[in-house]
Amino acid sequence: MTKTALITGVTGQDGSYLSEFLLDKGYEVHGIIRRSSVDYRERIAHLEGTPHFHLHYADMSDSMSLVKLVGKVQPDEIYNLAAQSHVQVSFDAPEFTADVDAVGVLRILEAVRTNHLEKTCKIYQASTSELYGKVEEVPQSETTPFHPYSPYAVAKLYGYWIIKEYREAYDMFCCSGILFNHESERRGETFVTRKITLAAARIAQGKQDRLYLGNLDSLRDWGYAKDYVECMWLILQHETPEDFVIATGVQHSVREFATLAFRHAGIELRWEGEGIEEKGIVTNVQGDNVQCTKGDVVVRVSPDFYRPTDVVNLLGDPSKAKRELGWNPQSTSFEQLVELMVAHDMKKVAADDAAAEIRKVNLAEFLEKGIDK
Ligand code: NAP
Ligand code: GDD
């Protein structure tokens, strides 16, 4: 029997990989999109027009649109990935973040109940390692207490608990994947990894002078998004509805990520100074085409990218997912992840036409001035 999946957040990094994954498994895939005045469907453009992939307008802030859509699609599985997902932006737009990331989860659950699908439709909720926030233990597992540390994390905490509540109150098959940071060539350009890989490529190709970052000491457990979407599906295929930590179990700092990314772009860096005075200085370049020279300061710290409260020590313990889902947390290593992102961005920056490149450099300049959204 063909299964039908509904994905909220289908235009995002994870939504695009999950769509590919489910289409490969023979699913009928439906995705929710929002109206926008510009084209934002780049990540799923290659899927549009294929027979088993369908898009519908709806919005996480619009209950009626969700009730109608769930009734029309009659999904076997819902993957609730839609969110205002940028932590720093949640300090600027906390109410919107709460509406979409917290109440939005409730709206999905109620849309399923309103359509009397609670016994047949399974729901995956995109929970997050940000729930651990100001961490109470390292590494973090399914039993680690939560201590959310941003408006984003507080909203996601509601999502986590309302999923658990509906599982217990109405016997629904709904679960959270507590996913640690996962990145890719499709990662949004203002998350730190992609900001770094794009800047390294632009600096190597002479299209940007300098990269401005915030807290270089922040530690993350970074995995590859393509590996992580498989887990979302595995969680819904598990015999019982349960929550799972999905992580690699390996931790690196923002500084380490930047050092390795610049190395793959042909630029060796050394770090000098501390805090706001810290700089990344070129010590060596590899390849004739690298457009910077020894002694250039290519990375600086800007307080614009500091957060009012920052989560600085995330490291996941994926033992349960490994044991119960048979998932391999290290199929893509940190080194491979950085390499594939830089290789992608080196090609992208080289291929962008001149006009697009001017826009990108202007954007990069804006970013440098502190508009990190
Ligand atoms: P992303 O690239 O930012 O994608 C977010 C998606 O949500 C986009 O498709 C966006 O649509 C959609 N969306 C936002 N507001 C909406 C609304 N009001 N109505 C309908 N759709 C809306 O995020 P991601 O990295 O793929 O992450 C997917 C999910 O996992 C998110 O819930 C995120 O919080 C969570 N998560 C991510 C990570 C990670 O490291 N990537 C880790 C843990 C948890 P538009 O394209 O129209 O903006
Ligand atoms: N964005 C950004 N920009 N972050 C920076 C910068 C910068 O210039 N400089 C340092 N950082 C630090 C942040 O302070 C944070 O500690 C860390 O780099 C990672 O930031 P992001 O890449 O923006 O990701 P995030 O960890 O805040 O949130 C992502 O992962 C969560 C899972 O832990 C998002 O995908 C969330 O949606 C997700 O829930």
Closest C-alpha residue for ligand 2 atom 36: 85
Ligand 2 pocket member 140 (CB < 6 A): no
Ligand 2 pocket member 218 (CB < 6 A): yes
Is residue 54 helix, strand or coil? Answer: strand
What was the pLDDT predicted at 357? 61
pLDDT in tens, 74-96: 999 999 999 999 999 999 999 99
Closest C-alpha residue for ligand 2 atom 30: 181
pLDDT in tens, 324-350: 999 999 899 999 999 999 999 999 999
What was the pLDDT predicted at 372? 46
pLDDT in tens, 153-180: 999 999 999 999 999 999 999 999 999 9
- For residue 293, pLDDT beyond 60: yes
d(CA 91, CA 70): 31
Which residues are part of the catalytic machinery? Answer: 128, 130, 152
Ligand showing the shortest atom-to-Cα distance for residue 178: 1
Ligand showing the shortest atom-to-Cα distance for residue 15: 1
Model confidence at 373, in pLDDT bands (50, 70, 90)? very low
Mean pLDDT across 40-59: 96
Closest C-alpha residue for ligand 1 atom 27: 14
pLDDT in tens, 100-112: 999 999 999 999 9
Tokens of 149: 């540390």
What was the pLDDT predicted at 39? 80
Q: Is the dihedral of CA 216, 218, 224, 229 positive or negative?
A: negative
What was the pLDDT predicted at 339? 98
What was the pLDDT predicted at 336? 98
Mean pLDDT across 218-232: 98
By most ligand atoms within 8 Å of CB, the mutation choice from 14, 87, 212, 341 for ligand 2 is 87
Is residue 45 helix, strand or coil? Answer: coil
Closest C-alpha residue for ligand 2 atom 25: 87
Mean pLDDT across 306-316: 98
Which atom of ligand 1 lies nearest, measured to the CA of 99? 18
- For residue 296, pLDDT beyond 70: yes
What was the pLDDT predicted at 40? 82
Mean pLDDT across 120-147: 98
Mean pLDDT across 304-311: 97
What was the pLDDT predicted at 366? 59
d(CA 211, CA 364): 8
Mean pLDDT across 280-302: 96
Mean pLDDT across 31-52: 94
- For residue 52, pLDDT beyond 80: yes
Ligand 1 pocket member 317 (CB < 6 A): no
Q: Evaluate if pTM is beyond 0.85.
A: yes
By most ligand atoms within 8 Å of CB, the mutation choice from 7, 10, 13, 14 for ligand 1 is 14
Ligand 1 pocket member 9 (CB < 6 A): yes
By most ligand atoms within 8 Å of CB, the mutation choice from 29, 85, 131 for ligand 1 is 85
Percent pLDDT > 90 in the chain is 92
Ligand 2 pocket member 108 (CB < 6 A): no
